[in-house]
Amino acid sequence: MTSQILINDLRRHFESTSAVVQEAVERVLKSGWYVLGKENEEFEKEFAQFCGVQHCVGVANGTDAIELGLRALSVGKESRVATVANAGYYTTTALTLIGAIPVYVDVDPQTQLMDLTHLGRLVARGGVDAVVVTHLFGLLHDMESILRITQPAGIPVFEDCAQAHGALREKRPAGSFGAASSFSFYPTKNLGALGDGGAVVTQDTAVAARLRELRQYGWESKYRVSAENARNSRLDEIQAAILRAKLPFLDAWNRRRREIATLYSTAIKHPRISCPPVYGEEYVGHLYVVTCDDRQSLQQHLASAGIITDIHYPVPDHMQPTRKGSNDVRLPVTEELADKILTLPCYPELRDEEFGHIITTINRW
């Protein structure tokens, strides 16, 4: 066993994919076409099929995917958008750039996903123009229940799938439920590039066309600008080729993540630590997060045994220094969880003896 177990080990991941990645990069270099070429077109087709939708539009990163996806759904300045505050501020960043207003929804204490009762109250009260549902830690939310709340009110739902590539409910993939859905391909994601990358998927041809304008200066044709609030946000050819090379392995990687998470949930036996339940295909193990009443002590104990952990995420959005106007917002479950959550190593290349060491070390705490 290595002397230190990392929270994620991208060097191991590269070793396991080096041959296909190097072939993909060389293919692009030889082509002489590096932006919006054949690799991007083919990846968009392949990833749309993987997500069970008609359209995929590659963009520069996951946050752009949220922002441009929402703009394509006509979310604009002063639009009120329901979202959670426990997912790292990424949606709040996108909403701030749009000029939209976050309407924060508390989360369920077990799943840490958007609380449906709270969402239902906000929708019934009126004044919600759109909903962003984050499939946090790799757990696909109960989208059918969310749509039963939003559809009668005519409220579009946008899925943030940055941590849920390949998650399924009733064989239906993450990203196929909402009016549009965003993905991040940051290197640590279940499907990661060698740099930043993102995409928006949708069933709606008009939304996809709008996205293609928004990601490239607002052009309806070259140098003819017809869409406002556009930018240069393109998934380059090398990243698209790398993602194409990795996509066939994604389901197997997700199964390994679930296997590790299941072992954690069944083998960690400590009265002060709560583990997630064992999930099925709706969970792809992007992050394995436990709760503990003395997180600092547990984190130090693990570090002394060479086990690196992290906190996803320590500061809820409404409590960030930039959200001083949100100080009257109260999200009791979100706030309590922020003080207790701790992320353990969980990635496909984690070795049996390593997560065994993690479990033993936790149980001896």
> Is 2 inside any structural domain?
no
- Ranges assigned E (strand) in 161-255: 168-169, 172-173, 180-184, 198-202, 219-221, 224-225
Domain end, chosen from 206, 231, 248, is at: 248
Judgement on whether residues 234 and 329 belong to the same structural domain of the protein: no
Residues 197 and 340 in one domain: no
Q: Are residues 83 and 174 in the same domain?
A: yes
Residues 111 and 168 reside in one and the same domain: yes
In terms of domains, do 124 and 268 share one?
no
Is the domain of 142 the same as that of 111? yes
Domain count, the chain: 2
3-state secondary structure of 264: helix
Share of the chain above pLDDT 90, in %: 97
Whether pLDDT at 326 is above 70: no
pLDDT score at 339: 98
Torsions phi, psi for 168 (to 5 deg) = -130, 140
* Residue at 5 is within a domain: no
Provide the residue range defining the domain that includes 350: 249-363
The last residue of one of the domains, among 225, 248, 271, is: 248
For 38, half-sphere exposure in the C-beta direction (CA atoms, 13 angstrom radius) is 8
Residue 286 lies in a domain: yes
The reported pTM is: 0.97
pLDDT per residue as tens digits for the range 183-221: 999 999 999 999 999 999 999 999 999 999 999 999 999
Q: Cβ distance 143 to 159 under 8 Å?
A: yes
Asked if 43 and 139 sit in the same domain, the reply is yes
Q: What is the CATH number of the domain that holds 287?
A: 3.90.1150.10
Q: Are residues 42 and 57 in the same domain?
A: yes
- If asked whether residues 193 and 335 sit together in one domain, one would say no
Task: Give 99-137 pLDDT, tens digit per residue.
Answer: 999 999 999 999 999 999 999 999 999 999 999 999 999
Half-sphere exposure in the Cβ direction for 324 (13 Å, CA)? 2
When pLDDT is cut at 50, 70 and 90, the band that residue 347 belongs to is very high
pLDDT band for 2, please (50, 70, 90 cuts). Answer: low
Q: Max CA-CA distance within the chain?
A: 65
State whether 243 and 333 are in the same domain: no
Residue 181: inside a domain: yes
4 lies in some domain: no
Is the domain of 199 the same as that of 58? yes
Q: Are residues 207 and 96 in the same domain?
A: yes
**d(Cα 59, Cα 179) in Å, to the nearest integer?**
18
Percent of the chain whose predicted confidence (pLDDT) is above 70 = 99
Nearest Cα residue to 349 out of 285, 305, 280 = 285
